[in-house]
Every structure is written in structure tokens, then in C-alpha cells.
């Protein structure tokens, strides 16, 4: 698959043939209405060419694994926040083979929220795979991914967006390890310790100079996301380090932005099992760089 395939794919929301089924735009958003879409047959004929102008300004990818409890309040807050801002958005919830009611819940929200799309991995594949899935299907000019528990509040989008839009960063990443970071509710001590140790390895092997690569809140200029996620291949929790390593190898600036962190006690991360897996993945990044794996398109990937 060529690296930029998918960028101009039409949004699922545009599949709706009848304009009456489209939701009213929130009053604060500029109406960017394309008259071609008044006629369903025109809409289908011109889909590829005509969809591009309606691409949202920002796509928000939310990976979700057994999140039936946390996802509802998160979607409420996300909807409220983006209704209050100027630019247009689409939200992509990526279900990672949850065994609970995550998909049903997300679909309920999507039924009367056309900017929300629900993607399914089919089975549990990991956070890296889930975020890649969302990013490759996203159509926004910019792209953000956020943990389903909103440990970094969605309002922090503004700071990260400013770093990309106004300061020229290719990727702006939420950080819990800067002096200005606001740790309102900290992670358990062993998770903080693991994080610091893992960061030593990350800096030595993949991303020097970044003190927190693991915060689940990262904002990309869309083109950077498309390039990076087209070749990125880690499926697990170390994918952030790989993504940042690739972005900087491609020559984009990474800006670490201090954010608020309100830790959610309910974690999907297992301190031993996942720590070992992350170390293995991290060495894999180094190995892949040395072998030129990222210079070739990914093969055999179900998302490709
Ligand atoms: N553990 C885990 N989380 C996943 C997986 N796939 C997606 N996620 C999502 O990854 C995000 C981070 O998970 P969380 O448990 O909050 O991690 P923590 O805050 O680092 O303890 C959440 O949005 C999860 O739903 C997976 O296979 N395992
Ligand atoms: Mg969390």
C-alpha cells in the first residue's frame, strides 16, 4: 500500500445519502457546506473528489479495550469540548477486541453523533495496533490520539495544537515529566518508577532528549501521522517510542508539552507482563532501524 493511501478516503459520515439525516452543526462552527451533496446521486458520483474539502480539521483516535465503564463519560466530555471550539473534528473509537459492552456503547453514541466512527480490530491486538488502525482510517488535517480514560484532560488539546500549528512541530506530545507538568493525581509509585526506567532505555535506544514518551496523548500534523503510521509496526505499548523515533528520523520536530495528568486507578497495563513486552519491543525498534525495515512498506499487515 502506498504510504499516503487513505488520506483522501471519504468519511463514513458522508455515506449518508440524505442531507436530512445530517446533524445540525453546532452554532460555533463555521458551516462548510458543499452544495454537491444536496443530491445523493451526485454525492456518490463525486465522492472521491468532493469529499476532500469536507475533511475535518482534527481527527481524534481513542483506543478502547474493555472500556465500557470509562468510555461513556469520556465521549460526553469529548463531545462537549469539541462543540465549544472553532475547528471541525471527527472521533474514531477503535475497539481492541473488548469482551465487555465497549462496542455497543460506542455504537449507541455513534447513532446520533455522525462525527463519531467506531472501528473494530476483531480481536485483541494491543494499543499500538489500535492507534495505528485509527490513524490510517482518519481523514483529518491534524490527528490526535488520547487514552480512553482521559487521564490527560481533552482540554489539553489546545496546547498541543498550538505547538503544531503555531510553533511548527510535526508532533506535539503530552508530557508528565517536565517541571511544568501538573500531576493532579499521580500514577502508583511502581508505575512512575517503571516509567522513569523505561525512559532511560528509550532515550538510549530510540528517542534521545524526550523525557516522557509514554503519555497517552499525542497530536500530529496529519501528514506526519500518515507517514509514520504507514511504516510503524509495534502493536503493543512501546509503539509511542517507535512513532517518535520514526518522526524524528523523517526530520520532523517533536515538541514535548507539559500537561495535566489525572491518573485513573483502573489500568489495562500489567506491571510485569507489559514491562517485559515493552523492553522487547523497544529493542525491536533498534533492530528494525538497523535492518532498514522502516524503509520498506509493511508486508502482511491486516491494516495495509
Ligand atoms: N492494556 C491495553 N490497553 C489497550 C489495549 N488496546 C487498547 N488499549 C487502550 O490503551 C489506553 C491506555 O490504557 P490504560 O489502561 O489507561 O493505561 P495506563 O493509563 O497507562 O495504565 C486505553 O485507552 C486502553 O483502552 C490493549 O490491548 N491492552
Ligand atoms: Mg490510563
What's the pTM value of the predicted model, to 2 decimals?
0.83
Buried b (16+ CB within 10 A) or exposed e, 15-28: eeeeeeeeeeeeee
Are 199 and 213 a contacting pair, CB within 8 Å?
Answer: yes
141 Cα to the center of ligand 1, angstroms? 25
Instruction: For ligand 1, pick from 60, 61, 62, 65 the residue to mutate: most ligand atoms within 8 Å of CB.
Output: 65
- Which residue puts its alpha carbon closest to atom 1 of ligand 1? 268
The CATH superfamily of 55-292 is Spore Coat Polysaccharide Biosynthesis Protein SpsA; Chain A (3.90.550.10)
Looking at the CA of residue 125, tell me the nearest atom of ligand 1.
Answer: 27
60 Cα to the center of ligand 2, angstroms? 17
Residues 80, 85, 87, CA angle at the centre, nearest 5°? 120
Instruction: For ligand 1, pick from 99, 127, 134, 153 the residue to mutate: most ligand atoms within 8 Å of CB.
Output: 127
84 Cα to the center of ligand 2, angstroms? 25
188 Cα to the center of ligand 2, angstroms? 11
Q: Give the start-end residues of each E strand in the chain.
A: 58-64, 89-95, 116-120, 142-146, 171-175, 182-185, 217-221, 254-258, 260-262
Looking at the CA of residue 274, tell me the nearest atom of ligand 1.
Answer: 1
- pLDDT of the residue at 14: 43
Q: Which ligand is nearest to the CA of 102?
A: 1
Looking at the CA of residue 126, tell me the nearest atom of ligand 1.
Answer: 27
- Which residue puts its alpha carbon closest to atom 25 of ligand 1? 64
- pLDDT of the residue at 280: 97
Q: Which residues line ligand 1 (CB under 6 A)?
A: 63-65, 67, 96, 124, 126-127, 130, 147-149, 151, 216, 264, 267-269
- Please count the CA atoms within 13 angstroms of the CA of 126 that sit on its side-chain side: 16
How many CB atoms sit inside 10 A of residue 177's CB? 19
Domain boundaries, the chain: 55-292
Helices and strands per DSSP (H, E), number in the chain = 10, 9
Residue 9, classed as helix, strand or coil, is coil
- Measured between alpha carbons, how far is 192 from 25 in angstroms, rounded to an integer? 42
- pLDDT of the residue at 302: 74
- pLDDT of the residue at 62: 98
Flag residues of the chain having pLDDT under 70. 1-53, 304
64 Cα to the center of ligand 1, angstroms? 7
Question: Mapped to the 3 state alphabet, what secondary structure does 15-38 carry?
Answer: HCCCHHHCCCCCCCCCCCCCHHHH
Q: What cell does 202 get? A: 528509550
Over residues 10-44, the pLDDT tens digits come to 444 444 444 445 555 445 544 454 444 444 444 44
68 Cα to the center of ligand 2, angstroms? 14
For residues 32, 73, 161 and 56, what is the CA-based torsion angle, rounded to 10 degrees? -20
Amino acid at each position: 500500500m502506498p504510504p499516503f493511501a487513505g488520506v483522501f478516503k471519504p468519511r463514513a459520515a458522508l455515506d449518508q445519502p440524505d442531507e436530512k439525516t445530517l446533524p445540525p452543526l453546532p452554532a460555533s462552527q463555521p458551516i462548510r457546506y458543499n452544495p454537491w451533496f444536496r443530491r445523493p446521486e451526485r454525492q456518490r458520483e463525486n465522492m472521491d473528489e468532493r469529499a476532500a474539502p469536507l475533511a475535518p480539521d482534527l481527527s481524534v483516535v481513542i483506543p478502547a479495550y474493555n472500556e465500557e465503564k470509562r468510555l461513556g463519560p469520556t465521549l460526553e466530555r469529548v463531545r462537549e469540548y469539541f462543540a465549544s471550539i472553532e475547528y471541525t473534528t471527527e472521533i474514531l473509537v477503535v475497539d481492541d477486541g473488548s469482551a465487555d459492552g465497549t462496542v455497543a456503547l460506542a455504537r449507541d453514541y455513534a447513532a446520533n453523533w455522525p462525527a463519531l466512527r467506531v472501528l473494530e480490530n476483531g480481536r485483541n491486538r494491543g494499543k499500538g495496533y489500535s492507534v495505528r488502525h485509527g490513524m490510517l482510517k482518519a481523514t483529518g488535517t491534524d490527528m490526535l490520539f488520547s487514552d480512553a480514560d482521559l487521564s490527560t484532560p481533552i482540554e489539553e488539546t489546545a496546547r498541543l495544537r498550538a505547538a503544531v500549528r503555531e510553533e511548527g512541530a510535526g508532533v506535539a506530545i503530552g508530557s508528565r515529566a517536565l517541571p511544568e507538568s501538573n500531576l493532579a493525581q499521580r500514577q502508583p509509585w511502581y508505575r512512575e518508577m517503571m516509567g522513569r526506567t523505561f525512559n532511560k532505555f528509550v532515550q538510549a535506544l530510540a528517542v534521545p532528549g524526550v523525557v516522557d514518551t509514554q503519555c497517552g496523548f499525542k497530536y500530529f500534523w496529519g501528514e506526519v501521522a500518515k507517514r509514520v503510521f504507514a511504516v510503524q509496526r509495534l502493536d503493543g505499548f512501546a509503539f509511542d517510542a517507535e512513532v517518535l523515533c520514526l518522526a524524528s528520523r523523517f526530520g520532523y520536530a517533536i515538541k514535548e508539552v507539559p500537561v495535566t495528568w489525572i491518573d485513573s486507578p483502573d489500568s489495562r497495563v500489567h506491571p510485569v507482563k507489559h514491562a517485559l513486552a515493552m523492553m522487547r519491543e523497544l529493542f525491536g525498534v533498534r533492530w528494525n532501524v538497523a535492518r532498514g525495515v522502516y524503509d520498506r512498506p509493511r508486508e502482511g499487515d491486516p491494516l495495509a
